[in-house]
Chains A and B, each alone.
Chain A
Amino acid sequence: MAETSAGPRYSERNVEERMGLLDKAKMHAKALSLGMLRLARPQRITLRYPLERPVLSEGYRGMIVLNNDKCIGCSLCARVCPAAAMKMFNAAPKKLRPVINYERCIFCGYCVDICPVEALYHVPVHDLVFENRDDMVFDLETFTKEPEEPEHVRKVRVVIDEEKGLRYVPVNSE
């Protein structure tokens, strides 16, 4: 490498002296004025979540959907699942298919990554509501359908900003 790098090293530092009365008064004033500044020009990064939803980043490990046509029934996904959320069952004689239990799923994405034919994929949805726990166990029909997000919410894009940290830019759904 061209640039001279000093490499990792230790550096000894000292805590400053205790503050005198004058310094204390100055720092009090400074802290208060910064507080007032932020009161007047707040730096909010709160997302008003149920009303606004972020567009999840590309490659977000959200809920998992099965492409039934691609699946070869090899059961690797069920074997790799660290939380035992995925199970194989006989969809037809000699035709194994996985089903998922979202009560157990930890969204590690191992099943998606191990599938040798790319039959499983993530969708950028992660916050569905279920009315009872039985609904969280998906059967082949629900597992092969992409879950839909509620439509009444406002979608926002999360942008990392130099001034505000995070900015939420509304997107108009087409």
Chain B
Amino acid sequence: MTEAPRVATTSWGRVARSASHVAEPAYLDDLGPAVRAGATPALAHGLGRSYGDVCLNDGGRLLRTGRLDRIMAADWSTGVVRAEAGLTIGGLLAVAVPRGWFVPVTPGTKFVTLGGAVANDVHGKNHHGAGTFGCHVRAIGLMRSDGAVLKIGPEARPHLFAATVGGLGLTGLIAWVEIQLQPVASSDFEVQTSRLGDLDAFFRVAGESHAWPYTVAWVDCLASGRKLGRGLFSRGRHAADGALVPHAEAARLKVPRDAPSALLGPATVRLFNAAYSRQPATGETRRVPYGKFLYPLDGITDWNKLYGGRGFFQHQSVVPMAAAPRALQALLELTSSEGQGSFLVVLKLFGPRPSPGILSFPREGATFALDLPNRGPDTLRLLGRMAEVVLEAGGRLYPAKDATMSADQFRAGFPRWREVESYRDPGISSDFWRRVTGDRP
């Protein structure tokens, strides 16, 4: 097998870059030989929607999984689906929704592969009830670089399963995933949006909204003083009746090239201010298609280019509930005084349902996410100070979003990381893993 030339690859944030030998296995029988072949470590790469370097492998090999998008078996009477790792959540919804089934958990984009959803144990607006994606995984097909092909699950090899869910693709090539879908009566959501005057209001409304399966808040990261933490709270549920219509395939808009990075900040804040002032204290219930509620940015192809050629970072963290009010206040004070946040802060309360993965990011508490355009050292300094606030509160940073945390910060947030290291496939590694564990190739 001839080694492919190195291809420059970047992730969604467009800051982290690497050069890797890229292969694109088209069938599962290609995947085993692909992970075994080669002197350098391999790493699966789905759609590259993680923001930093968990999906990159500089100097090694990337196995792109996009062609492995077949459904292997589906029982539409029970909602159990087994599919190759490269099938996207959007691709699955297109087939499942007309049959009355929905993914149990989805992140804020449908352009995520099932393999990536497992490897990063993704969460969504329904975490407070449904937990993470991994809570709904029944089985995983894992191909190891020694040639072993394993079927793992909560009962079959449970430790390897726990290391694989949220395990950043390091325990073997995830070949397929079997999940339990949730039944839905309609493809629409019923959504209520209400105004939040300050951070206290967020905690109050989130606490009152537990009966709503999907909740999220957007907060103005530039507001300060008495307005600190003002925002919009959105809650939704699957409509109880109606048509079962999948999302439209085509994106409506496309960002053709890098935008001047100054464009996004003031523009989004103005849009937000307009929406905020129009919003009554508690809104009426509206009915919207799921794509509009769950995937508002998917209609804009390559929206990451709006941040300009230098790319952007995302800070996403979670802090335990007891420390959350103070920590969130401190994070908002940092972003508003620095004036660097270009987008809105996303806040959400995570629920108590434990994640099955050893390295899973979500835990009970409050999560805070913010995009920051890359302005060099100032941005890195701000990210560092935010990380300090989070760790001091006993929280942690989300590897799938991270490009900057130190090895110490990683180990403090994920004290059980060595267990995953012990299950790591010796033929697999990533830029992220080398960065936070100090394992140089």
| A and B co-occur in one complex | no
